[in-house]
Amino acid sequence: MTEDDEVTAGSGASREERRRDPSRVLALTDGVFAIIITLLVLDIHVPELMAHETLGTAISDVRPSFISFVIAFIVAAMQWVGHRDLFTLIRYIDRGIIWLNLLTLFAVCLLPFGSALLSRYYEDPLALRVFGLILMGTAVARTAIWAYATRRPSLIHEPLDRASIRSGLALSVFPVAVYIIAFVIAGVSPRASLAVYASGPVLYFIAITLLHLVAPRGSAERQFT
């Protein structure tokens, strides 16, 4: 906890409150996610029919665009749900959280490019690695916000016990580890790498569901969606 985080007395206190209010950070974040979620639809162009071509064969050309939209949608939706979970813990923000959150948004903004690349070159190690780096960026930024906020009791709603902090950290670090594996094996077997990325959402749902069952009532882990 730095000196800054203490609330100063008198009229300064409410000034501090306003400075530390997360509402505009959330408004910007929700706006960026709304755009990222819809952005790749722009890439799904209506096909122009050539002579002797049916709409059926022409429409199959938009398949890569459609797949990249689906990938970006699922990943962005999961990131957004994770972001929402994270910020139900955070009461106040400071300079550190604002910039770590902007770092998250930077990685999220690259998702459409990453998934468009992946949908077209899913057998190329480079495409798999670029996609992996972007996902790692979002996961690292999330881990950083979790570690930063949970160590500063003045920023969060209720103090978390050590077990909750650790299992939350594990849940944030876990995807990073998965993405590193996918990144490394991309050079050896692109298909195995792709399978690891694809299993990411599935594993996350399982991990979350296990936490819901195992964690004691009212603990922070129970809050993850």
Compute and round to an integer the Cα radius of gyration of the chain: 21
Give yes or no for residue 166 binding a second copy (CB under 8 A).
no
Structure tokens at 24: 């505009």
Give yes or no for residue 73 binding a second copy (CB under 8 A).
yes
C-alpha 167: how far from chain center? 18
User: Nearest approach, Cβ of 179 to a second copy (angstroms)?
Assistant: 19
Give the Å distances, CA to CA, from 53 to 44, 47, 50, 170, 184: 19, 11, 5, 53, 43
Give the one residue of 28, 67, 147, 181 binding a second copy; rule: CB under 8 A.
28
User: Nearest approach, Cβ of 136 to a second copy (angstroms)?
Assistant: 17
User: Nearest approach, Cβ of 145 to a second copy (angstroms)?
Assistant: 16
Tell me the per-residue interface mask from 101 to 120 with a second copy, x by CB under 8 A, - otherwise.
-x--xx--xx-xx--xx--x
Where b means 16+ CB within 10 Å and e means fewer, 31-68 reads ebbeebbebbeebeeeeeeeeeeeeeeeeeeeebbbbb
Give the one residue of 1, 53, 55, 153 binding a second copy; rule: CB under 8 A.
55
Query: Rule CB under 8 A: which of 183-212 touch a second copy?
Result: 212
